[in-house]
Amino acid sequence: MPTTLKIYHEKQTRQLCALHALNNLFQENIYQKAELDNICSNLSPNAWINPHRSLLGLGNYDINVIMTALEIRHCEAFWFDKRKDPSCIDLDKIVGFILNIPLDYKIGAITLPLRKRHWIAVRRIGQHYYNLDSKLRQPELLGTESDVLHFLREQLKEKEQQRELFLVRYRSDCNESQQRWIEESHDINKTAD
């Protein structure tokens, strides 16, 4: 990892991986648990048990909370169709990536036959891409554009594990095409000359 770069990296606490993924994505502590809890309440104001976080309210937020939190900061998230190759992504038009990956439940050295979901952020900082997973001790240097595309390909090829990829970009002019993050050579809506 280049030593001259200061990389913001929150580490995992409780079930707050969505909070850490958002803050790591934006490289600063801009979201708080109270803000995400408030979003949950607004999404389901009359729910006795809120479906957008864990039963005990300790975190474990769903994509609806993440997308709403991004909208507050003038960003939007797009679900990436795993049938496509990540090379169709125009990396210059996105802030970064949020991945939802499965993890095993462990109690000490014992792995339980249950799965939980975990949110991680990946983004470019300087000239390189980093995996900013809050479960890592420090950010993981992925490398160049081709390296991050390879990383994403590897993450998405695990079909039985139901990994999901979301592209995060700043909200822009409404007149742009629907999929503004796709390279022109891959855009099926583009008319031939």
Pairing of strands 110-125, 96-107: antiparallel
* Per-residue pLDDT at 117: 83
* Per-residue pLDDT at 185: 55
Q: Is 128 a known active-site residue?
A: no
Q: Is 74 a known active-site residue?
A: no
CATH class label, 17-171: alpha beta
Q: Which of 40, 85, 133, 186 is catalytic?
A: 133
Question: Angle 33-43/17-26 helices, nearest 10 degrees?
Answer: 110
pLDDT more than 70, % of the chain: 74
**Distance (Å, rounded) from C-alpha 10 to C-alpha 82?**
28
Domain layout of the chain by residue ranges: 17-171
Residue-wise pLDDT for 110-145, tens only, equals 766 666 788 999 999 999 999 999 999 999 999 999
Q: Is 118 a known active-site residue?
A: yes
**Distance (Å, rounded) from C-alpha 36 to C-alpha 184?**
35
Q: Which of 37, 90, 118, 187 is catalytic?
A: 118
Surface-to-core class of residue 135, CB atoms within 10 Å of its CB (0-12 exposed, 13-18 middle, 19+ buried) = exposed
Q: Which of 9, 17, 37, 75 is catalytic?
A: 17
Residue-wise pLDDT for 148-159, tens only, equals 999 999 999 876
* Per-residue pLDDT at 173: 45
Question: pTM to 2 decimals?
Answer: 0.81
* Per-residue pLDDT at 70: 95
